[in-house]
Structure 1
Amino acid sequence: AGLGPKPTATLDQLRQAAAAVVRQASQVHAAHVVLPGAALGAFPVDAITQARVEGAALGAYRFARYKRDEDGQVSRVTLLASDPAQQKAVEDGVARGRVFADATAFARDLVNEPPNQLPPVRLAEIAAEAARKAGLRCTVLDVEAMKALGMGAILAIGSGSEQPPRMIVLEYTPPKATRFVALVGKGVCYDSGGFNLKTQDLEWMKADMAGGAAVIATMQALPAVRSPVRVLGVVAAVENVVSGRAVKPGDIVRAMNGKTIEINNTDAEGRVILADALSYAAQQQPDEIIDLATLTGSAMVALGYLAAAVMSNDQPLVQRLLDVSQQTGERMWQLPLYDEFLENMRSLVADLRNSGSRYGGAQKGAIFLREFVEGRPWAHVDIAPTAFLERDEGMNPYLPKGATGYGVRTLLTYLSAQPDVR
């Protein structure tokens, strides 16, 4: 098929081409693949090499932990550098590509784990271990700690499960940090819908923690890319299931910032737990907040599997994210966040209700979240369309069926200045 005329090829086409080669090689049980390392068009050699490494590694990805027998797959990829002057640039691209691909694979592994193997406490343990290896600070807030901080929202959603909720806080603080960014992730380790019980696709609801997985995977890779940015990662981890203790439609809960929320739909739980996570992040006074969440089916209806929806109270911030997503191939599409949406989220008996009328559901979920960022520059990325593919769509060879790891490469690119990461 080729890549088309030289000037029109993009970095993502290079990623996809490398992934296609590796996937085809795996089908014929080839163990070794050789890819060209030459420059293409106006792109620098290190960027081209990074794209090829990412594509090859992500195209080869398999989640086979629970399979007794697994078909052979490519175990070695060689990139050729014909010009000795390009050697260092190729090595830099390989190193950076491996960091990005490994972080994405880490996020995929977390999302692909079955829910009986990854309750909130276990997710917190994995995050803490990853933080230890990366040299990050990790604080895990248990139920008592969350009660002390007034986190009534996440505690309400987690009340129905035998598996207690956790708030995971990761901190990366480089010397001479240029700015301070908070990443917030939705970590619903399993979502039954609660009393508003889901009626289909329950086997995929382990993927409702994909935003949290992306935040954890990004945080643990920041030292490797030598990000100059101070970054706070906050993941609200919980199970949303039914029991005699579970939150009920009509309940009113109080979030960390003091606002009250009427729970009129227990299957709109993600925004409720994010209320506490965003409030916690905002209290640390970051320059900007970015949250990732598999928040709404509305975003999936609007965009299919091809792009995440992004909404923001700060156009320069959202434009920077859109620009970076063009580089990484992790598409985003901006939806409007009209103030009028908030009127539909007001409750007769509380400050807010967690679910509005049907139309504009993605924006109404986002406008609800805006109430908890305390006016700070903030972008909400609804990754419900892109976080998990229920089938191999055949659209992109580095996106297999299952978890995609969406958002990790975009966040790492956004937060790094592309230094040598070897």
Structure 2
Amino acid sequence: MGSYLGVAAASANPPHFIHLCYKPVGGNVKRKLAIVGKGLTFDSGGYNIKTGPGCSIELMKFDMGGSAAVFGAAKALAQIKPPGVEVHFIVAACENMISGTGMRPGDILTASNGKTIEVNNTDAEGRLTLADALVYACNQGVDKIIDLATLTGACVVALGPSIAGIFTPSDELAQEVAAASELSGEKFWRLPMEESYWEQMKSGVADMVNTGGRQGGSITAALFLKQFVH
């Protein structure tokens, strides 16, 4: 899990990889799902430290919103006890700090599926933790994976503070999430996974860099995460 541990390396507080599992009473599992959440309990930005007006570094204790949603879902399922479905709740929790042991711009990390990542921005750390969490989720033999994350400011620029973006190559999954959003009252909007934008993510020394340019930043983040599911 070199990608996840690369992010965690600078903190004096150890990382915690959390895996909870709900299994239906009596077995008879018909579907297996995984819900993965970003769990950055504080994000300084690392060596690409958050600075300047609007950086909101004082709010970065909330960069674990995705993991909070995952644990909320785990509590809800434990109370509802749905039959026939097994659900894995996965969070790679850590801090993104600055120290002599921290990852540096230009470092090469190796994720648990063997793919290599050139770190060109230490403040694009959430996707590095999710990369290994998604590989782990795939290894549980699940049918579908949903990941939840406060991943990019670019998504907020596109959709504002009250609408979440959805990225998926699956029309079926997008329709299921849309139906759930209508029931819950939470707002979602599907955004395109434009494959041509992957050109921004190519590296001369690794399989990919961890962030592209300013344009289409939420799309390139989604394309990055796609490299870690199969």
Distance 1:346 1:286 in 2: 29
TM-score by length of 1: 0.52
Question: 1:264 is matched with which residue: 102, 120, 143?
Answer: 120
Match of 1:350 among 175, 198, 206: 206
User: C-alpha distance in 1, partners of 2:80/2:59?
Assistant: 32
Letter in 1 for 2:226: R
- Displacement after TM superposition at 1:315 (Å): 1.1
Aligned pairs for 1:48-67 within 5 A:
none
1:216 to 60, 63, 71: 71
Residues of 1 paired with 2:199 and 2:20: CA distance? Answer: 34
Distance 1:156 1:224 in 2: 36
**Paired position in structure 1 for 2:9:** 159
Q: Aligned AA for 2:46?
A: G
State whether structure 2 residue 109 is matched by structure 1 residue 253: yes
Query: For 1:244-264, what per-residue CA distance to the aligned partner results, in whole angstroms no more than 9, with x for missing partners?
Result: 111000000100000000010
Per-residue CA deviation, residues 313-353 of structure 1 (Å, 9 max, x unaligned), is 21110111011101111110000001112221121110011
Q: 1:179 aligns with which of 27, 31, 34?
A: 31
Q: Deviations over 1:108-148 (max 9, x none)?
A: xxxxxxxxxxxxxxxxxxxxxxxxxxxxxxxxxxxxxxxxx
3-state DSSP of counterpart to 2:73: helix
Scaled by the length of structure 2, what TM-score is found? 0.95
How many Å separate the matches in 2 of 1:201 and 1:223?
35
Cα shift at 1:311: 0.4
CA distance in 2, matches of 1:238, 1:223: 25
Structure with more of its chain in strand, by fraction: 2
1:177 positional shift: 2.4
Give the structure 2 partner of residue 93 of structure 1.
Answer: none
Q: Which residue of 1 aligns with 2:138?
A: 282
Aligned to 1:118: none
* Residue in structure 2 matched with residue 189 of structure 1 by the alignment: 41
2:50 is matched by which residue type in structure 1? K
Larger helix proportion, structure 1 or 2? 1
CA distance in 2, matches of 1:343, 1:179: 36
**Paired AA for residue 247 in structure 1:** M
Q: Paired residue for 2:196?
A: 340
Task: Give the distance between the partners of 1:311 and 1:252, measured in 2 at CA.
Answer: 26
Instruction: State the shift of 1:202 in Å.
Output: 1.1
SS in 2 for 1:224: helix
Q: Distance in 2 between matches of 1:306 and 1:190?
A: 22
**Post-superposition offset of 1:295:** 0.2
Aligned to 2:167: 311
Specify the alignment match of 1:295 in structure 2. Answer: 151
Aligned counterpart in structure 2 of residue 204 of structure 1, from 59, 83, 89: 59
Give the structure 2 partner of residue 331 of structure 1: 187
Q: 1:177, 1:224 → 2: CA distance?
A: 18
For 1:263 and 1:223, the matched residues in 2 are separated by 39
Counterpart of 1:290 in structure 2: which amino acid? I
Deviation at 1:185, TM superposition (A): 0.4
1:370 aligns with 2:193: no
| 1:160-206 superposed Cα distances (whole Å, 9 cap, x missing partner) | 01011111001111122231110000000000000000013111100
Query: Identity of aligned pairs, percent?
Result: 49
Amino acid at match of 1:204: L
Cα distance in 1 between the residues matched to 2:171 and 2:213:
26
Question: Aligned-pair distance for 1:213?
Answer: 1.1
In structure 2, runs of 5+ residues without a counterpart are: none
For this pair of structures, how many residues does the alignment match?
A: 224
From 233, 256, 265, the equivalent of 2:89 is 233
Letter in 2 for 1:205: M
- For 1:203 and 1:261, the matched residues in 2 are separated by 28
Deviation by residue 1:373-396 (Cα, 9 ceiling, x = unmatched): 11xxxxxxxxxxxxxxxxxxxxxx
Task: Work out the CA distance in 1 between the residues paired with 2:195 and 2:207.
Answer: 16
Shift of residue 306 of structure 1? 2.0
How many angstroms apart in 2 are the aligned matches of 1:233 and 1:367?
Answer: 22
Please tell me whether Structure 1 or Structure 2 has the larger radius of gyration of its CA atoms: 1
Query: 1:220: Cα distance to partner?
Result: 2.3
Offset at 1:291? 0.1
Counterparts in 2 of 1:108-147, with a 5 A limit?
A: none
2:219 alignment partner, SS class: helix
